[in-house]
Structure 1
């Protein structure tokens, strides 16, 4: 069902460009028709030149003008077809790139936990670039070359069937040789795509962890690792280039042998009187026309193996199920924030069950603390509420709605999540505070910043709210990033707030300030806090300890 749906969407993309394809194919057919008519006209009209060996006359000039006109028409048609097919290919790849990006965004959180960020970036860059080049450039030559091969074979058959049948026998023979010689191309291409992804993944990871690398003086080691990966890519490319470089001259050589056989056969037929001079010239010209596409198709075969390696990775991602979206769900209206977990069970394939029969009822306006050891499943519990994961058993209700039957947009729109690992965009503080808002109101932004204890901090910065945070918020302290995340969540005006280790990046004074401000700040929300530190229990209405996958009520 899923594959059929993807195929349907692929057809919809091509359907959108159907008239562009009609134009391109029409231009290619016209160019091929002109190109195939030239050898025939030159060959058949050569009789006039052979019969009248005197000076050029008006009859000769008429033929020459016709040939020049056809040459010009072929050139114009080739320009138009090449330009349009490249343009359509570029537009298709732009669409596919956007669709791939859209699909990646709706993949489950687990996909991003199990795959390197560099692998994803490699698909959006290297793999799509290979496919894009193949569609927009390589296929530009494929269709005309195939049409020329078919057209030349048919026209040669009409002139001399024996010679045409000889060619039809030799061409598959060349293809078999080509297949044997290039059988190692596809595995190399797949390895190359993976090595390129690994190299990009390492670079992405190292840039994100540059402070760690510098702190432990690992620059030289990381450079060595990167150089080794790059050398692996270079070695695979060398093998790929060697095979690609071998294919074209090999096919050209085999094609030349085939043409020699055709010439010999043509001469024998001419000597036997079954071929006229114009037919002989026409056959020889078609033989020349026939060899050029074979050389191009040899290079195409090598590039085809490369694009198969790239497309295999892309198709694998396209075939992954996306997280539950809004199709068929109910757009729920959460107005209270009443949360119920009924015997919820969840686990990962690699780790087994980590939450077992979790049950609790958190009434609207209450706040709850769940504490326990790191890695015990506390963050996973919050992610279940957000539908980042689906429970293996039990049910989760908010205001009586089963979250499994709610649209993710309506569900997540009612929940504000403040993660332990705060994610900030590379922009200003104001941009990060208003992320997710359609029409932000400045006064409301300043109010939320003040409520989160951020306003006084921002006023001490040189550029205030326009201060650039850097990629991932690297220019701010951990406490500043966490308060931005809190203010950002408050601006969404949710009914439920989820706080993941809310004081982990705060100093002692900050923790004390957080506790003092807690009830005034969060009184209008249903709040779930998770922490490895139980000292927050003095601000919580309900306290649970998560241990061995089960919840134990503390107060």
Structure 2
């Protein structure tokens, strides 16, 4: 985990060096200030005979004030730089994970709820990155500062080291006892939290159905059941965290009692000064604070580790198969004895042999559940688990770089297109590197959505307008294979006629595949392909 994150953060090496220097300044100042205060106490109590006037009061104030300002400024700058680096690395990691998921086989992704997956990726990535970046430098500096504190306490009296050592041993025992529980119960809480968020997303995304069917009383039942399981796991986790917190309280007070016992006797026997006793008390608390940090570091590491193991599930995903060969133009697509069968169950379809040729319009017909969408996925190369053979210009699809071919030569218009949260114009031209502006305007006028193009978002569009946007994008791309999945399901009669005119106008340039039961399109179809199980 750490290796991967630090490799990603290496691009921001200058910022990491600055953060390290700032931390050194902060912790050095926090160690020096108690020294100044200790000298001040010894001066006013008469333990330091070298001080004969009151000017030391002003000097002490100036020194402490100067160091305090340095610490404040350093912490402010550190916070800004840390936020910048962690934000950059988080974005890099999320992008890398998204690219991995986008290139994974569709069959692997169907088991994930999109809302839960989104929440899981962000939470797990943020947890890993914050642990790695926030703790790498801090842990090193705290380790060094703990060594310095031990040395300074030893310089006052080696007997007082005993108080710190006992407290540290108690904390180490606490780490050994609790860390495995933190890991196990933390994993359960995170999984259940994602399920709870997914149920909430489902509830919000089906508000219309809830209103239509008056499901007000029952819409929250599944969510409440999921919450009950989450609450049980959170309570179990809270018990472990409370135990850890109590270990910290115990060690703090134990160290204080030991300092009083040992240090008090040393003061009474003139072994150390009052200022030194205060200094040792402060440094002992700082040491215990550092040990608390390392205790929580172990806890944080367990959380980060389980998050990273969850992320590794996506890093380990195999990419969908993709060849390396290209083709200049698509003039034919031929299927020979094509079939598809899920891992369990009867074949969806089998033994299909057909040819699609440039200059013709084809219609694929079939009842629901007979594999029309699956066939399209096979034809465009995002489902490779088929039987038989599929050729583009006599080239086996398994050898072709279908990602490049889809990007440059294939357009697919889905039945229920999901538009991006961007302007209408950007949705119209998304993924199209080159297009004629006049052609875009002509298509918008033909489908009567020219007034909608000026809008900055797509939320105001009706279902029919969204389908028109997707159709225009598919036509504007000037691809060599155009696939339309129920393209007129949300169109009015005028829109249907416009689509037919545009398809006939471009017919000679491409292979056109239509999936539809709408007979209003049948008069432009050259050949029908019927899917039957």
Q: TM-score, normalised by structure 2?
A: 0.80
1:399 aligned to which of 393, 404, 409: 393
Contact 1:90 1:136 in 2 (8 A): no
354, 358, 364: which one aligns with 1:360: 354
Contact 2:168/2:288 (<8 A) preserved: no
Name stretches of at least 5 consecutive residues in structure 2 with no aligned partner: none
| Contact 1:346/1:393 (8 A) holds in 2 | yes
Q: Report deviation, 1:489.
A: 0.9
Count matched residues. 529
Q: Which residue of 1 aligns with 2:367?
A: 373
Of the structure 1 ranges 241-250 and 218-227, higher mean CA displacement relative to structure 2 is found in: 241-250
Q: 2:15 aligned with 1:20, yes or no?
A: yes
1:334 equivalenced with 2:336 (yes/no): no
Among 424, 439, 445, which residue is 2:440 paired with? 445
User: Any residues of structure 2 matched to 1:69-468 within 5 Å, and which?
Assistant: 69-131=66-128, 134=131, 144-157=141-154, 163-164=160-161, 167-168=164-165, 170-181=167-178, 183-230=180-227, 233=230, 236-237=233-234, 240-241=237-238, 243-265=240-262, 276-277=272-273, 283-298=280-295, 302-324=299-321, 329-330=324-325, 332-351=326-345, 354-356=348-350, 358-392=352-386, 394-412=388-406, 413-426=408-421, 430-438=425-433, 440-449=435-444, 455=447, 457-458=448-449, 463-466=451-454
Unaligned 5+ runs, structure 1: 1-5, 549-555
Q: Cα deviation per residue 1:20-62 (whole Å; 9 max; x = unaligned)?
A: 1112112222333343345566668977641429853557766
Instruction: Give how far 1:216 is off.
Output: 1.6
Q: C-alpha offsets along residues 365-387 of structure 1, whole Å, 9 cap, x if unaligned?
A: 23433333322222212112222
Residues 195 and 233 in structure 1, CA contact (< 8 A), matched pair in contact too: yes
Distance 1:263 1:348, change over 3 A: farther
Which stretch shifts more, 197-206 or 56-65? 56-65
Q: Given that residues 82 and 140 in structure 1 are in contact (C-alpha distance below 8 angstroms), is that contact kept between their aligned partners in structure 2?
A: no
Displacement after TM superposition at 1:128 (Å): 4.5
Counterpart secondary structure, 1:420: coil
What is the Cα-based RMSD across aligned positions, in Å? Answer: 4.2
Deviation at 1:166, TM superposition (A): 6.5
Cα-to-partner distance string for 1:215-261 (whole Å, 9 max, x where unaligned): 22223321444455456555655554554455334312223213433
When residues 365 and 142 of structure 1 are mapped into structure 2, their CA distance, relative to the original with a 3 A threshold, is same
Distance 1:134 1:475 in 2: 45
How far apart are residue 80 of structure 1 and its match? 3.8
Q: CA 1:138–1:241 in 2, change beyond 3 Å: closer, same or farther?
A: farther
